[in-house]
Structure formats: C-alpha cells, structure tokens
Structure 1
Amino acid sequence: MTLHMVILYCCAAAVVVPGTKIIQAEAGGRRVSPVELLRILWRRPVPWAAVAVIAAMAVMAVVQTVAPSVMDHLQREPGAPWWRAVTALLVQTSGWPQLTFNLAAAVVVAPVAQRLLGPVLMPLVFLLSGVAAQAVSMAGWSVTGGGDSVALCGLVGALAVARTPRAATPAARLLPLLVPFAGLLLCALSNNHGVGVLTGCAIGAVAVLVAPGRQPRPWESRDRRASAPATAPRP
C-alpha cells in the first residue's frame, strides 16, 4: 500500500469517525441497534428535506441502472459544459458499490443534518458542497466521473463545525476538528472530497456565527432533563 493510499484512508477515518459520533449522539449517548438508531433518526416530525434528497438519489439510481447511457450526458468529462458540475451529482459512475454506499450514508446523515442545520440550509450545503467539488474536478483534478459522496462530505463538514461549540467536553470539541483537517489533506492530494468537506465546514461556520443561539440539539435537551435536579413533591 502506497503512502498516498494510507493518507486517503486516514482522511476517510478522520471524517467518518466524528460523523459517526454526531449521528450516534441522536440516541442520547445510548448504545442502540442499527434498526433502533434509524427509528430515532427518522422520528417525527419527519425531516422532509432529507426525504427529498434521498428520494432524488434513489430515483437517479434506478434511472442510471435502467438506462446506463444517461451517465454519458450527465457526468463530468473533458470539454463538458459548466452545468455538468451540477448534473454530475446525479449519477454514480462507479456503479452499484458507489450507489449502495452513498444511499446508505445519506439515510443516516441527511436526517441528522436537517435537524441540526434546518430544512433550508441542509439541502443548500449538500448542493453547494457537491457543485464546488465537481467544479474543481472539472478544472483538472479529476475531469471524468460523477457522484454525490462529495456533497455528503459537505454535510458532515457542516455538522462537525456546527456541533463543536455545543459539545459538552473538551474531547468532544476536539474530535470534530479532525474533519476540516482531513479536508485540507484531501485537497493537498487533489481529491475532490476535500473541497466538499471544506465547503461544508465554511457554511457551517457561517451558520454558527449568524445564529449562535439556535435551538438546543435533541441530545442536549435530553441531557438537560437528565441532569436537572429532582424537585421535591408539593405537600
């Protein structure tokens, strides 16, 4: 295994591990089964913006499976028009492994992102992070291909930055900082996922500055109730 591959795997871990911690925090720190975690993530009120993103991904997965030639008209490629930076998010050019992984990641990341970022900012982060990464790739980093994992990386980046000021312990505040650091390393390797990560981090940082007093996160509400002193019953 080359040093390049080792660094890529380390960067992937630096994004996935903090992202997993943020998702697991939705269960209030409890160890739960994957089925129970999904039930918690998709509890009411239903995160409809997340539903829309995942539905679009699923529809395009069917379309490219039934008509593979659609990828030739949507993916980024040498000499392609600028709008391919948008349409390249719609196709997964590495086939079913990429389709399966990205859909599974979206199912757990998108609802958490909507609950923490809101129904408007979440899809905006997804779109801007993905388009930025595709545009940089078209400029020379990787001129052929497509996929929305770069947009999902943007959601993780935004979550990591938005989550950090709310973390309860120093360790919990430090762990999400691995995400932008991984983004910088990926950019140094000309990997477009780094652009997605850093774009999401930047938008998340702006969101924190603009709305520092946003409502408490779901796990914070539970933590406050659990730590609140019991009141004595009235006589």
Structure 2
Amino acid sequence: MKIHGLRRFPLVTAIIFGVTALSNVAQFLVPGMLAHLERTPAGLHGDWWRTGTSLFVQDGGVPGTISNLLFLVFVGLVAEQVVSRPRWLVSYFVTGLVGEVAGYAWQPHGGGNSVAVCGLAGAVAVALWRGDGRLPRVASMSVLLWCGALLATVWFPLLAIGVVAAMAANIAAGRGVAAGRWAAVAVPLTGVALIAIRDIHGGALLVGLVIASALALSVRRRDPVVA
C-alpha cells in the first residue's frame, strides 16, 4: 500500500501519535495532570510511574506539543519504512525511557516525547548510513530538521542551519545525489553537542544510534516491508 510515495502505511506511528495526542489534549483540559505525570525527583522516591508517563505529557506548552507531535509523525513514518514495527517500538520506547532516566540527573523536571523521537532519528540515521533503498526521499530532511529543532532549543538561530541543510539534502536527493551519509553524521554530532551542555536529548540521540545499530546487526536480512 503506497501513500504519498511511502512503501507502507505507518500504522505504529499513527497509533502512538493518536495515544500521545489524546493524552496531550487531556493534559490541557485536566488541571494537575501534567504535574502528576511529568518527570520529577519524586519518580525516584515512590512515584515510579513518572518515568513512563512523562513520555505522554508535554512541558513545552502548545508550541512544544505541536512540534513534538509533528516530528513524531515525520520521523516516525520514515523510520517505519525501514525497520519492523517491533523494532520501531523498541527504538522509540527504550530510548525514551533512557532519556527520561537521564533527565533525573540533568533536567529533573519535565516531560515530553521528544527523547523518544530521538530513538527514531537514530534508526533513520543508521538506515541512511547503510544506504537503505527503502528510505523515502524525505529521510535526510527529517533527521536534519529534527537536529536543527533540538539545537534551536539551545540557541534559536541554529534552527536555520537545520532548515538550510534539510533543503539542500532534499534538492540533492531530487537530483540523484547521495547525501544520506552526510545527514546521518549530523545525528551523532548533534548528540555530542547537546551532551556537552547536559541536555538529555544528546544522550537520547546517541542511545538511539546504539540501539538502531544493534538491532540492524541482529537481523541478517532486511525486514520485509508489508503494507
């Protein structure tokens, strides 16, 4: 089944988007929901559920919520073209949970699915490095825009670098120029830069790369793409 050039319908992406979006809407309607579910030091002292539930609430208000949901769709649907659905879930949730745990040390208060999206970005980056033929044309653009968005949280003008790089990658792809590896390298570089300033997304990006690499090595043949 082909949708806008994709090889299969991004079912898992759609489900996780739906669940997260509904939770985010409820967060804005139910007073105290964010405070009860977000990551806080209490997660290490009895409120154990916070490590997981913090992936389903957003601490960035309406703009942050919209951004995280849009990137979940954009990066998620690309990842779902090249990894099996179980591997998609592993990349998303294991990376997300590791990111939330790291958050207790570096950013003890907060919530959002952005750290989990980093796991999907890692999966796409590994596929780009390997030159996976199942990747859609927008694959390089997806990770470059995501890296730009993460860097913009540190200094907003850095978003322009991600946008320009994404546009250049898309033009190159349209002309048949291989730029996948250049886009893939942006992920670990962004990860290292963010780790240097103790941003949890840096660790999440690198963990996402490690998980995706390990999963890719564990599979001797490519996952079948089934609609």
Same fold (TM over 0.5): yes
Once the two structures are TM-superposed, the CA of residue 204 in structure 1 deviates from its matched residue by 1.1
TM-score, normalization by structure 1: 0.69
Once the two structures are TM-superposed, the CA of residue 137 in structure 1 deviates from its matched residue by 0.8
1:149 paired residue number? 114
Residue 205 (structure 2) pairs with residue 197 (structure 1): yes
Q: Per the alignment, do residues 175 and 67 of structure 1 end up closer, same or farther by CA in structure 2, a change over 3 Å counting?
A: same
Counterpart residue type for residue 205 of structure 1: S
Q: Per the alignment, do residues 211 and 44 of structure 1 end up closer, same or farther by CA in structure 2, a change over 3 Å counting?
A: closer
Give the Cα–Cα distance (whole angstroms) in 2 for the partners of residues 170 and 62 of structure 1. Answer: 40
Q: CA RMSD in A?
A: 2.5
1:121 to 87, 90, 99: 87
Residue 185 (structure 2) pairs with residue 174 (structure 1): no
Larger Rg: 1
TM-score, normalization by structure 2: 0.71
Gaps of 5+ in 2: 134-176
Give the Cα–Cα distance (whole angstroms) in 2 for the partners of residues 111 and 161 of structure 1. Answer: 15
Q: How does 1:41-56 map onto structure 2 within 5 Å? A: 45-56=8-19
Once the two structures are TM-superposed, the CA of residue 77 in structure 1 deviates from its matched residue by 1.2
Once the two structures are TM-superposed, the CA of residue 146 in structure 1 deviates from its matched residue by 0.4
Percent sequence identity is: 31
Give the Cα–Cα distance (whole angstroms) in 1 for the partners of residues 115 and 122 of structure 2. Answer: 10
Counterpart residue type for residue 178 of structure 1: A
Q: How does 1:1-235 map onto structure 2 within 5 Å? A: 39-40=3-4, 45-80=8-43, 81-138=47-104, 140-166=105-131, 171-214=179-222
- How many pairs align? 179
Partner of 2:39, secondary structure, is: coil
Give the Cα–Cα distance (whole angstroms) in 2 for the partners of residues 62 and 74 of structure 1. Answer: 14
Gaps of 5+ in 1: 1-26, 28-38, 218-235
